[in-house]
Amino acid sequence: MSRALSWRAVVVWALLAVLPALPFMSKFYLLLAFDALLFGAIAMSLDLLIGYTGLVSFGHAAFFGLGAYASAVLLERGVVSLWACLLFAVLVVGLYALVVSYFSTTRRGIYFALLTLIFAEVVYTFFRYTQTFGGSDGIQGLPDALLWRGVPIDTPLRKYYLVLVYLTVAYAICRVVVTSHFGRVLVAIRENEDRARFLGYSVQRYKMAACMISALLTGTAGAIYPIRSAFATPDLMLWTESGEFIISVMIGGLGTLAGPILGGAFFTILRDKVSSFVDWYFIVIGVVLVLIVLFMPKGLLRWRQAA
Amino acid sequence: MAAGGVILEVEGVSKNFGALAALSRVGFAVSQGQVFSVIGPNGAGKSTLFNVVSGLYAPNAGRVVFRGQEITGLPPERINRLGIAKTFQITNVFPEISVEENVGVAAQSRSAESGRLASLWRTADVEARVTELLEAFGLVARRDELAENLSHGEQRYLEICLALATEPTLLLLDEPTAGMTPGETKDATEMIRRLALARGLTVLLIEHDMSVVMGISDRVAVLHFGEKIAEGTPEAIRNDPRVIEAYLGGGGD
Amino acid sequence: MDYLIAILLPQLLHGLVFGAALGLLALGLTVIFGLLGVMNFAHGELYMLGAYAGIAVVGVTHSFWAALVVAPIAVGAIGAVTEVATLRPLYRREPLYGLILTFGLALVFREGVRQIWGGDMRRILPPFTGSTPLLGMTYPNYRLFLLVASSLLLLAIWLFFTKTRAGVLVRAAVQDAEMLDGLGVNVPRVFTLTFAGSAALAALAGLLLAPIFTVYPQMGVEMILLAFIVVILGGMGSMGGSVAAAFVIGLAQSLLTLWMNPQRVAIAIFAIMIVVLIVRPRGFFGREGVLE
């Protein structure tokens, strides 16, 4: 894929930018759109790892949740600058990701998946049972964050644009990485890790880097979450959340950038729509997952040239 | 054929897998610019030898010295960067990307950005080198094809392209003509000889096809049950009674 | 000495019982993985289904013993159907697909149970109460029963796998699934029966432990993580290793709770798992090269 944006991508972005102006966009739908785009961004950053590098992480919810808690902790103490929250989240998630990626990438395939899962479980258990962070209730009742002095991010409209900007930046970063020298090596690692070593690549370093980039992107998405929801809870870090991220990537298509964004958005909307009708949306999700693995393991919407 | 100073020394290399002695005190020297073949019946330890030289295994005893530097036990990526490139006996390419992308990722490992932070955003400009290699092996027409869709012979050529793209000084070819038709084998042999001359490469070759071995080798070493039983010019080896006995007696070609 | 008897011994016994149940789960996981190449993320839910099936049977028959017979069979049947419908096509694909698919199945089972029985904690009353004086300490009868029952169960399983033709076949196939092809055995049927058997074992474990722990839809989630840890500690593909490791973890967990609160214990166990995965991913008895 070349670095030039396709016209399709530009059109979609323009549509997203004017979305709030559409007549039916109530506050509720704006927040739903927020969730859809945020989830899509996370799915995209996860696909960097799964689709491009071939490493399936079952612990991404921990990156997301840690980012959320980092933000929440600052907001709770009155540090309401958006930039402070983002920075702090990058620091915290970065440290955790350093440890996880270093140890997890020493092993391949299913062992990598299990290692990321276990690390995430440790994080979940820690936050779930530590009262300083609110235990199972988490941190609630957070104030609005400030873009800068006098500009609070309080309305659904502003929150929506925040996530749109975030998605744009994240997409740009992913695109640059994926089309770069580095990105090509990731694909080679996915295709044939051993061969890549014999071509002179220190494969573990590349895997670590891919893991960290993916983790940091997810972590900053997590940092944005409490700005919308005004809380952070341990449930954000459940491994079932990680599973939902993976589902989104698989729905959207492995190995592309736009696919997972659509997958994540689709999944979020599906979840919202289904759970408003029925109580048992988990069953629907589970069935969808089974069907996808059986019939379209490369993803529903996979196409070779990404937008 | 031209030969310069010694470029690779294998000294007393032994490698065991549990109770199995795959290599026992194997030693020889390869000179710059030579085509040096290693032959022997199945199971003689030839691939194990390549795996030790290329860094996949560390030997249990002995050393490997490349251009005066000891490389025993170094990991494969380090050894490749020092100038040794290996092809695999069973085709080992990147299946779901195109031929051009295959050679591209191999070539870019030698570009300036490789391994540096800048590689996160810079692209490597390897198109010229990729095209040059593809032309040398007649793969230009197939450049957009997925590697897994190539014919067997084409994939063997792609194997060699990948190795050459890393600009090696020493090329380890593990049965490059395996599975090729006689016509393809002849072409491949010619190509290897031409390449070696044109690029000043030293070639270490494992082969089963005797016509290939006799045709292009400067020197031949024979392994049998992990030991070197003979070494010399192709003619000397062809007539060596121990070699003949090994092939007839111990498990043939 | 008093300390030993009053505190340590019960914990030890409890650890053995828990380890036995974990061993049943881990054994099932190992066998499924060895034979079908699938890491069954839904195994914890099969364990959970055993408890709920038990609740259903007890509700109708008021007999725990009836449940002990019917529940495993019922869950075994569910397992068989699941295997044929969803897992069969994944045989010999990358294990990660199995992981993701069974993850979906787990969601379905968990939510299905929650819909039918609700999300509240439930209890199954033990079939008998009272305690017995043992070594200077009284020990609940049901737990003693569990100790005996699980020992007998493990013994029976061991006999099955070493003395019967079917068992020896499955054991060999767990080591090398491809050998089945050459033996003229009805491979699909072996797979289905093995999966059903593993499901039944998991269900039995769930039912047996139910009177001690509470029953709720998430109960399988914690067990599955531990079971994964056990399988990897013992070595993927090693059945004896799984059982051995199960006892190690069961005892470790029991004894550690004497000194640490449950959350720290959980983290400690996870830490062990991480270390083992890094240092020796094939576990104590595993074969080299499996999935490394």
- The answer to whether the beta carbons of residues B173 and B205 sit under 8 Å apart is yes
- The answer to whether the beta carbons of residues C242 and C29 sit under 8 Å apart is yes
The domains of chain C are located at 2-120+130-279
* CA separation for the pair B34, B28 (Å, rounded): 13
What does the longest C-alpha to C-alpha distance in chain B come to?
61
* CA separation for the pair C290, C292 (Å, rounded): 6
- Among the partner-chain residues A176, A181, A202, the one whose CB lies closest to the CB of B77 is A202
| Cβ <8 Å between A122 and C90 | no
B105 within a domain of the structure (yes/no): no
Tokens of residue C177, six digits: 């699934």
| Cβ <8 Å between B101 and A176 | no
A303 within a domain of the structure (yes/no): no
Which residue matches tokens 């090994």? B246
Instruction: Give A301's contacts (C-beta < 8 A, 6+ positions apart).
Output: A251, A252, A253, A259, A262, A263
* CA separation for the pair A262, B238 (Å, rounded): 66
pTM, rounded to two decimals = 0.85
For residue C184, CA distances in Å to B160, C166, C178, C220 come to: 43, 14, 12, 37
- The answer to whether the beta carbons of residues A254 and A47 sit under 8 Å apart is yes
A195 within a domain of the structure (yes/no): yes
Which chain A residues touch B110 with a CB distance below 8 Å?
A: 200
Interchain contact A274–C (C-beta under 8 A)? no
pLDDT by residue (tens digit) across C49-85? 999 999 999 888 888 889 999 999 999 999 999 999 8
* CA separation for the pair A279, B67 (Å, rounded): 71
* CA separation for the pair A100, A66 (Å, rounded): 13
Classify each residue of C22-55 as buried b or exposed e, where b means 16 or more C-beta atoms within 10 Å of its C-beta. bbbbbbbbbbbbbbbbbbbbbbbbbbbbbbbbbb
**pLDDT grade, residue A102 (50/70/90)?**
very high
Q: Which of C96, C265, C267, C282 to mutate to test the interface with A (most CBs of A within 10 A)?
A: C96
Helical segments of chain B, H only? 46-54, 76-82, 99-107, 127-136, 152-165, 182-199, 210-216, 234-238, 241-249
Interchain contact A279–C (C-beta under 8 A)? yes
Whole domain around residue B36: which residue ranges?
1-74+203-253
A302 within a domain of the structure (yes/no): no
The pLDDT, as a whole number, for residue C292 is 37
At C173, which amino acid appears?
A: A
Q: Is the pLDDT of residue C90 over 80?
A: no
Whole domain around residue A88: which residue ranges?
7-295
| Bridge partners, B11 (sequence order) | B63
The pLDDT, as a whole number, for residue B162 is 93
3-state secondary structure of A232: strand
B34: domain CATH number is: 3.40.50.300
pLDDT by residue (tens digit) across A150-170? 888 888 888 899 999 999 999
The pLDDT, as a whole number, for residue B96 is 87
Q: Is the pLDDT of residue B80 over 60?
A: yes
* CA separation for the pair C241, C33 (Å, rounded): 14
Interchain contact A208–C (C-beta under 8 A)? no
> Would you call C132 exposed, middle or buried from its count of C-beta atoms within 10 A (0-12, 13-18, 19+)?
exposed
Interface ipTM: 0.87
User: Nearest-5° angle of CA B38, CA B43, CA B46?
Assistant: 25
Q: Name the phi and psi angles at B64, rounded to 5.
A: -125, 125
B24 within a domain of the structure (yes/no): yes
Q: Is the pLDDT of residue B253 over 50?
A: no
**pLDDT grade, residue C287 (50/70/90)?**
low
Which residue matches tokens 């197939």? B142
Angle at which helix C141-163 crosses helix C187-209, to 10 degrees, equals: 170
A212: domain CATH number is: 1.10.3470
Q: Name the B residues in 111-170 with CB < 8 Å from any A CB.
A: 111, 113-115, 119-124, 162, 165-166
Query: CA of A289, closest CA in chain C: separation in Å?
Result: 5
Interchain contact B92–A (C-beta under 8 A)? yes
- The answer to whether the beta carbons of residues B17 and B45 sit under 8 Å apart is no
Which candidate, A52, A80, A10, places its Cα nearest to that of A206?
Answer: A52
Query: Number of structural domains, chain A?
Result: 1
Search chain A and give the residue with CA nearest C270: A118
A133 within a domain of the structure (yes/no): yes
The H or E element containing residue B26 is strand B20-31
A300 within a domain of the structure (yes/no): no
| Cβ <8 Å between C103 and A56 | no
Tokens of residue C1, six digits: 């000495």
pLDDT by residue (tens digit) across B186-216? 888 888 888 888 888 899 999 887 888 888 8
| Average pLDDT score, chain B | 87
pLDDT by residue (tens digit) across A138-152? 888 888 888 887 888
* CA separation for the pair A242, B37 (Å, rounded): 53
Please give the average per-residue pLDDT across A28-41, as a whole number.
92
Q: Beta B202-206 vs B35-39: how paired, if at all?
A: parallel
pLDDT by residue (tens digit) across A180-209? 999 999 999 999 999 999 999 999 999 999
Please give the average per-residue pLDDT across A115-131, as a whole number.
89
CATH hierarchy code of domain C2-120+130-279 = 1.10.3470
| Bridge partners, B223 (sequence order) | B228
Please give the average per-residue pLDDT across C181-203, as a whole number.
86
Which candidate, B185, C275, B86, places its Cα nearest to that of A118?
Answer: C275
Search chain B and give the residue with CA nearest A191: B94
A126 within a domain of the structure (yes/no): yes
- Report the neighbours of A using a cutoff of 3 or more CB pairs below 8 angstroms: B, C
Search chain C and give the residue with CA nearest A289: C104
| Cβ <8 Å between A107 and C281 | yes
DSSP string, A142-170: PPPPEEETTEE--SHHHHHHHHHHHHHHH
The pLDDT, as a whole number, for residue B248 is 66
Which residue matches tokens 């040794």? B84
Q: Beta B69-70 vs B61-66: how paired, if at all?
A: antiparallel
* CA separation for the pair A210, A182 (Å, rounded): 9
Interchain contact A38–C (C-beta under 8 A)? no
3-state secondary structure of B6: strand
For residue C61, CA distances in Å to B46, C57, C72, C290 come to: 71, 6, 16, 46
How many residues does the structure list for chain A? Answer: 307
- Among the partner-chain residues C97, C99, C277, the one whose CB lies closest to the CB of A115 is C277
**pLDDT grade, residue A60 (50/70/90)?**
very high
Q: Is the pLDDT of residue B113 over 80?
A: no
B191 within a domain of the structure (yes/no): no
Query: CA of A175, closest CA in chain B: separation in Å?
Result: 9
State what percent of residues in chain A have pLDDT above 70: 94
Q: Is the pLDDT of residue A290 over 60?
A: yes
Which candidate, A240, A243, A286, places its Cα nearest to that of C82?
Answer: A286
pLDDT by residue (tens digit) across B116-143? 787 888 888 888 889 988 988 888 888 8
A1 within a domain of the structure (yes/no): no
At B85, which amino acid appears?
A: A
